[in-house]
């Protein structure tokens, strides 16, 4: 990657964006004056949180939409005048699986070959090459609808490659794909670049961005950065540290760290705290300021996310008004707040979750980590009463979900993956509804709802429709509704997937604060960084819990001489492969 910069200039330009602007209605522009270029023979990451404008930009590049201002040239063709020539020369894989679920793999390939006008004589050779390349040869008769997320993406890629394109546009190919398939997919795309094909890979995962040759970083429709990822991480070089030795109370320490003036950003990373400091700040002085005697602070290598947050002006402070307004739960009574005992769920002869057992203690954050379709959502749903287990039992705050379901549900707060409040209702009406269904009335209801709108600063938006709020405010409203009734346990289903890092930090500051007050949290995630915020995690794969422990313990289990400091993703892949080998043996 070091010589990437030198060779970059010599590569042919495949896309040229000049002053591209796109607006939808009266909202702020979805894309604001984007000028950039994308070259052949390398992977360009189009990076940014949901709603940043990634899909809009890709659709503009394909000529499916036209910009309001500025010009886009793709392979030398203007999208306004030559869209048809562009379509013939590019491969495009849209975000939603663009294939026909009721056709088999072979039928999908035939269909796309017809659509792309691939001559019949060339087909056998091309099919053979692509099916070998994507490792789908064994499944050609299987219906596309029955493929796993990773296999669907590979098939989508094969269809986009039927007529060898000069440019490949991939809209979030990594979504819904387990880490192992994601690595496979990445390797395939890398192989294409060696043939000179230009690849645009859009993603909301900042760890994916790091692996790209070059990135375009979008945030709220603006291009924040264009260049080599290491150039971006360069800006925080020497300012990133790991604070260890504060075990047990690390969340309270993090809150104090974040309130220091010279700290830009801080997150929990396993047992340690990851800190980005301002330029020319003395990390040793930070320890003194915290009054910590046993803490050790050491430099660590910067990541893309550290630089992104720094670029956005740093994360929010460590104070959570929500936690301050929450009454502390009495000290541990000994009984776990969430109990899963042999939870099993079968749908017909398919076992979605098998014999899942764990306890979550008061004031603990427990994570269910696994790819989509592995069974973590099924487990999660059984524990909040949305699914009845086929076998086993679940308890929340001591109440059996089967017998005292309503009582148990009264003790838990739930926040779903996608924004799932009532979009057509105003912010105030949503708050009033949730206060009502949790049995709050009269002054109690008024006090609680006004407290929530004060804490989350929802007052100015009280009469806006919830669906029209920006993503960050939606997130706040969803959290406000989930904690309206002061639950003992919070259930968070992929709470921050796709949101920008600032909103994510704000969200976790509240969660960390609540946990300090004795609230218990169960969180599902396929987001490896988020797993590190948990006290303990359970790795779920193919319906089974294959490993359970603290993030650091899981990482330590796969550490090897070649990889002494594995990431969560390394740990995940190694543990899943290990479990598969044991199952096969």
Partner 1 sequence: MWWTRLKALIIKELLAVLRDPKGRAILIGPPIIQLLVFSYAATLEVRNVDLLVLNRDSGQWSRELVHRIDGAPTFRKITYAQSPAALHDAIDHQRVIAAVHIGPTFSRDIEAGRPADVQIILDGRRSNASQIVGGYLNQIVASLAAETPAGRKAAEASVSVVARNWFNPNLIYQWFMVPNLVASIALLIGLVVTALSIARERELGTFDQLMVSPLRTHEILIGKLAAPMLIGLFHISIYILAAVFVFGIPLRGSLALLYGSAICYLGAVVGLGLFISALSKTQQQAILGAFLFLVPAMLLSGFATPIENMPEWLQPITLINPLRYFLVIVKGVFLKDIPLSEVANNTLPLAIIALFTLSAAAWLFRRRLE
**Enclosing H/E stretch for 330:** none
Cβ within 8 Å of residue 306, ≥6 positions away: 233, 236, 240, 265, 274, 276
Q: Is 428 in the site for partner 1 (CB under 8 A)?
A: no
410 lies in the site for partner 1, by CB under 8 A: yes
Cβ neighbour number for residue 541 with a 10 Å cutoff: 23
Q: Which of 12, 299, 342, 423 is in the footprint of partner 1 by CB under 8 A?
A: 423
147 binds partner 1 (CB under 8 A): no
CB–CB of 237/207 below 8 Å?
no
Q: Does 386 bind partner 1 (CB under 8 A)?
A: yes
Ramachandran category for residue 548: left, alpha or beta (phi over 0 → left; psi -120 to 50 → alpha): beta
**Residue 424 interacting with partner 1 (CB under 8 A):** yes
Query: Minimal CA–CA distance to 188: which of 176, 204, 199?
Result: 199
Q: Does 160 bind partner 1 (CB under 8 A)?
A: no
Q: Which is nearer to partner 1, 104 or 465 (CB)?
A: 465
Segment near partner 1 (CB under 8 A), from 296-304, 305-313, 356-364, 382-390?
Answer: 382-390
Position among 387, 397, 479, 576 found at the interface with partner 1 (CB under 8 A): 387
> Least distance in Å: CB of 346 to partner 1?
11
Q: To the nearest whole angstrom, how small is the minimum distance from the Cβ of residue 522 to partner 1?
A: 12
Q: Do residues 144 and 100 touch, judged by C-beta distance below 8 A?
A: yes
Q: Which long-range contacts (CB under 8 A, 24 or more apart) does 451-456 make?
A: 451/325, 452/480, 452/483, 452/484, 453/427, 453/428, 453/480, 454/321, 455/321, 455/322, 455/325, 455/480, 456/322, 456/480
* Under 8 Å between Cβ of 155 and 144: yes
Contacts with partner 1: how many residues (CB under 8 A)? 35
Q: Return the H-helix or E-strand segment holding 329.
A: none
491 binds partner 1 (CB under 8 A): yes
The contacts of residue 229 (CB under 8 Å, 6+ apart) are 45, 209, 210, 211, 212, 214, 215, 304
Determine which residue in the list 116, 438, 517, 553 makes contact with partner 1, applying CB under 8 A.
438
> Residue 408 or 576: which CB sits closer to partner 1?
408
Comparison of 255 and 412: residue with beta carbon closer to partner 1 = 412
Is residue 402 involved in binding partner 1 (CB under 8 A)?
no
Per CB under 8 A, the list member of 9, 284, 441, 584 interacting with partner 1 is 441
CB of 425 to partner 1, least distance (A): 5
Q: Are 154 and 188 in contact (CB under 8 A)?
A: yes
Candidates 242, 395, 409, 536: give the one binding partner 1 (CB under 8 A).
409
Among 55, 422, 471, 579, binds partner 1 (CB under 8 A): 422
Other Cβ atoms closer than 10 A to 249: 11
Residue with tokens 């669906």: 467
CA-CA distances (angstroms) from residue 191 to 185, 227, 298, 312?
10, 21, 38, 34
Stretch that binds partner 1, among 6-14, 228-236, 268-276, 402-410 (CB under 8 A): 402-410
Q: Which of 77, 434, 527, 572 binds partner 1 (CB under 8 A)?
A: 434
The encoded tokens of residue 566 equal 């594995």
Closest CA to 492 of 539, 525, 518, 470: 525
Least distance (Å) from partner 1 to the CB of residue 480?
A: 13
Residue 133 binding partner 1, by CB under 8 A: no
Site string for partner 1, 450-469 (x = CB under 8 A): ---------------x----
Binding span for partner 1 by CB under 8 A among 179-187, 331-339, 380-388, 518-526: 380-388
Please provide residue 205's backbone torsions phi and psi, each rounded to the nearest 5 degrees: -85, 125
Residue of 158, 162, 356, 440 interacting with partner 1 (CB under 8 A): 440
Number of residues in the chain: 585
Binding-site string for partner 1 from residue 522 to residue 561, where x marks contact by CB under 8 A and - marks none = ----------------------------------------
Examine residue 490 and tell whether it contacts partner 1 (CB under 8 A). no
Kindly state whether residue 388 participates in binding partner 1, applying the rule CB under 8 A: yes
Per CB under 8 A, residues contacting partner 1 are 381, 384-388, 406-407, 409-410, 412, 414, 416, 418-426, 429, 432-441, 465, 491
């Amino acid at each position: 990657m070091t010589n990437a910069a030198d060779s970059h200039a010599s590569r042919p330009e495949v896309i040229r964006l000049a002053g591209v602007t796109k607006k939808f209605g009266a909202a702020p522009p979805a894309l604001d004056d984007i000028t950039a270029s994308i070259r052949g023979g390398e992977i360009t990451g189009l990076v940014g949180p949901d709603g940043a404008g990634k899909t809009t930009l890709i659709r503009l590049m394909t000529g499916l939409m036209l910009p309001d201002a500025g010009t886009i040239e793709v392979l030398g063709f203007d999208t306004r005048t030559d869209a048809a020539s562009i379509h013939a020369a590019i491969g495009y894989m849209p975000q939603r699986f663009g294939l026909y679920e009721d056709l088999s793999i072979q039928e999908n390939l035939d269909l796309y070959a017809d659509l792309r006008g691939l001559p019949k004589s060339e087909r056998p050779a091309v099919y053979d090459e692509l099916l070998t390349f994507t490792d789908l040869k064994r499944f050609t008769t299987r219906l596309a609808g029955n493929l796993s997320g990773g296999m669907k993406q590979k098939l989508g890629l094969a269809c986009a490659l039927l007529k060898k394109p000069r440019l490949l546009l991939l809209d979030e190919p990594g979504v819904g794909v387990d880490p192992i398939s994601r690595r496979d997919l990445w390797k395939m795309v890398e192989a294409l670049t060696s043939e000179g094909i230009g690849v645009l890979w859009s993603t909301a995962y900042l760890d994916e961005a790091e692996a790209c040759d070059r990135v375009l970083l979008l945030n709220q429709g603006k291009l924040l950065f264009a260049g080599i990822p290491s150039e971006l991480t360069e800006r925080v070089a020497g300012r990133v540290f790991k604070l260890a030795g504060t075990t047990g109370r690390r969340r309270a320490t993090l809150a104090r760290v974040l309130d220091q003036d010279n700290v830009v950003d801080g997150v929990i990373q396993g047992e340690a705290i990851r800190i980005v400091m301002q330029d020319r700040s003395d990390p040793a002085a930070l320890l003194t300021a915290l009054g910590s005697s046993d803490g050790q602070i050491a430099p660590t290598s910067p990541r893309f996310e550290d630089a992104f947050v720094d670029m956005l002006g740093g994360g929010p402070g460590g104070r959570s008004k929500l936690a301050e307004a929450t009454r502390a739960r009495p000290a541990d009574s000994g009984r776990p707040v969430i109990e899963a005992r042999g939870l099993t769920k079968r749908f017909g002869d398919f076992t979605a979750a098998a014999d899942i057992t764990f306890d979550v203690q008061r004031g603990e954050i427990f994570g269910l980590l696994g790819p989509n379709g592995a069974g973590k959502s099924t487990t999660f749903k059984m524990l909040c009463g949305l699914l009845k287990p086929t076998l086993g039992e679940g308890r929340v705050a001591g109440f059996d979900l089967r017998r005292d379901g309503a009582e148990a549900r009264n003790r838990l707060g739930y926040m779903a993956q996608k924004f799932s409040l009532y979009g057509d209702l105003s912010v105030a009406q949503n708050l009033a509804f949730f206060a009502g269904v949790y049995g709050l009335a009269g002054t109690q209801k008024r006090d609680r709802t006004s407290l929530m709108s004060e804490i989350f600063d929802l007052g100015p938006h009280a009469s806006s429709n919830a669906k029209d709020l920006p993503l960050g405010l939606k997130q706040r409203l969803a959290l406000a509704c989930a904690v309206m009734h002061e639950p003992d346990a919070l259930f968070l289903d992929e709470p921050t997937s796709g949101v920008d890092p600032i909103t994510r930090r704000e969200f976790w500051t509240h969660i960390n604060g609540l946990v300090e007050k004795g609230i218990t949290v169960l969180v599902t995630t396929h987001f490896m960084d988020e797993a590190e915020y948990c006290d303990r995690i359970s790795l779920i794969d193919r319906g089974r819990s294959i490993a359970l422990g603290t993030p650091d313990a899981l990482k330590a289990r796969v550490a090897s001489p070649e990889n002494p400091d594995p990431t969560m993703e390394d740990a995940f892949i190694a543990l899943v492969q290990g479990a598969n080998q044991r199952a096969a043996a």
